Amino acid sequence: PDRRCPSFVDIMDAAGFQERLINDLATSMGVLQLYLGHRLKIFDAMRSFGTETPVTASALATKMQLSERYIVEFLKSCAVQGYLIKAPNDEAAFILPAGHASALCDREHPNYCAAFTCFLPSITPILGALQEAFRTGGGMPYHDYGPDLLEGISEGNRPLYKHEMLQEWLPKTKVWDKLQTPGAKILDVACGEAWSTITLAKGLPHLTNVIDAVDLDEKSLELARQNIEAEGVSDRIALHHKYAHEVSDGDYDLIMICESLHDMHNPETVLKSLLPLLHDDGIVFVADEGVPDTEEEMLPKDPTKIGSPSDEPNNFLGRLNYGFSVLHCLPASKCWHSSAAIGTAIRPSTLRAIAKSAGYDVEEVHHNGFWRFYQLTPLAPAKSQGA
């Protein structure tokens, strides 16, 4: 039987698909223009004139010492995309709405998302090599994606850490009370640019032990050091360019793995290596993608809703995560020999199977719509498993 939903048969004819594709193209070009505005700090400059103040291209170009002709075209394009508003009484002026300004300019605002525009430019330089990887089955080294990818991931996720980690995620774990005591020990695995670690250091100032953080990417750790110093917590965090099990003898109450288990070439081995590092009552806390458990749940029930305000949430998550997976996460993980090659769209059942095989009981403690959060507890006392 034809398992496709009727809407695919009835609606997505050649003309309908052409319209969808051209619309996607227009949206992609809009995102790249937001990237230009982000990199050139055009939106920051607009906001400096005053909240929702009409700004002319001439005034903006003069302030920024940029070409007025380019600024004119940029502002017009952003207006037709809906990113800016045309000033009603001034044909040459444009307004950056307050809500848009928070999302585009304020790196610590809960809705900040400008950094995500860095993802598309990070992909462009590697598309030729990625085609070859499709032919050979090889991978794409993480560092080949360049600084845009690093910013897209770290700065894009930063608001989630700042506004949710200590407010919604960790309070739902069994170690939350322990984290309120001075002697609690924490290890942040695959810390990247360390915004998750910084959030812990600033939010739990009573801790007497330094927070250990590990990552295998040297550039990420270099940026992490800069971030840690800028945030004034250099004495609270110890960065390590090594595998987690090489850090110390352990006794951690909390080991965190945020947004990276799906990237690991052998996540089961990694989780097993963490068992001896845990205190007897400690946990591994995993934050990873929020996709549903089956392909069927991610398929569109009505393709005409894709990209609209009535977009289906599970289909949106599927499109977003499989997009990241094809273009980055899967190729990066395939660089390793005998990679598990999980990809971005790690399902709850997949994560549970990996964790249970590694020796953990798994409990999902939270789901914020984008990510799922799991508490992994050793099936046997941690120290006995490491013996």
Report domain extents, the chain.
Answer: 6-105, 125-386
Confidence of residue 387 (pLDDT cuts 50, 70, 90): very low
> Which of the given ranges, 242-246, 248-252, 280-284, 298-302, has the highest pLDDT on average?
280-284
Mean pLDDT score of the chain, rounded to an integer? 93
- The reported pLDDT for the residue numbered 13 is 79
The stretch 5-33 carries a mean pLDDT of 81
Confidence of residue 248 (pLDDT cuts 50, 70, 90): confident
DSSP class of residue 163 equals I
CATH number listed for the domain at residues 6-105 = 1.10.10.10
- The reported pLDDT for the residue numbered 51 is 86
Is 289 in a helix, a strand, or coil? Answer: strand
pLDDT tens digits, one per residue of 139-175: 999 989 999 999 999 999 999 999 999 999 999 999 9
pLDDT tens digits, one per residue of 329-381: 999 999 988 899 999 999 999 999 999 999 999 999 999 999 999 999 999 87
Contact in structure between 289 and 321 (CB atoms under 8 Å): yes
**125-386: same fold as 6-105?**
no
Report d(CA 323, CA 23) in Å as an integer.
Answer: 17
The stretch 224-253 carries a mean pLDDT of 94
- The reported pLDDT for the residue numbered 45 is 98
Single out the residue of 182, 318, 257, 159 nearest to residue 168, CA to CA.
159
Report d(CA 325, CA 123) in Å as an integer.
Answer: 12
- The reported pLDDT for the residue numbered 385 is 57
Candidate from 27-36, 212-221, 243-252, 334-343 with smallest mean pLDDT? 243-252
Q: Count CB neighbours of 77 within 10 A.
A: 16
- The reported pLDDT for the residue numbered 189 is 98
The architecture of the domain spanning 125-386 is: 3-Layer(aba) Sandwich (3.40)
pLDDT at 1 over 50: no
Separation of first and last alpha carbons in the chain: 54
pTM: 0.92
Per the DSSP assignment, residues forming a β-bridge with 186 are 254
Confidence of residue 229 (pLDDT cuts 50, 70, 90): very high
Length reported for the chain: 387
Edge-first strand order for the sheet with 85-86 is 55-56, 93-95, 85-86
